[in-house]
Amino acid sequence: MQHHQLPETGFLRVAQIIGKNGNTPIIPVSASTWWLGVKIGRYPKPVKLGERITAWKVEDIRALIKGAQS
């Protein structure tokens, strides 16, 4: 994954992270694998931005990528 494709700050939705709806995947896993990883603590916890809006901090996704490359 190339970090320059991520914004410096902000939030990412699950479709952006796993590559749904025409997005290039940042973490190439299925939706069920992503949500299981969130549940067991492998992936970062989301932030609720609204009643039906769940997102992840870009900083948390960067840390996840950095940890995977170590």
Q: What percent of the chain has pLDDT over 90?
A: 81
pTM above 0.85, yes or no: yes
Contacts of 61 (CB under 8 A, 6+ apart): 6, 12, 17, 26, 27, 44
pLDDT digits (tens, 9 = 90+) for 3-32: 557 888 999 999 999 999 998 999 999 999
> Residue 45's pLDDT is what?
98
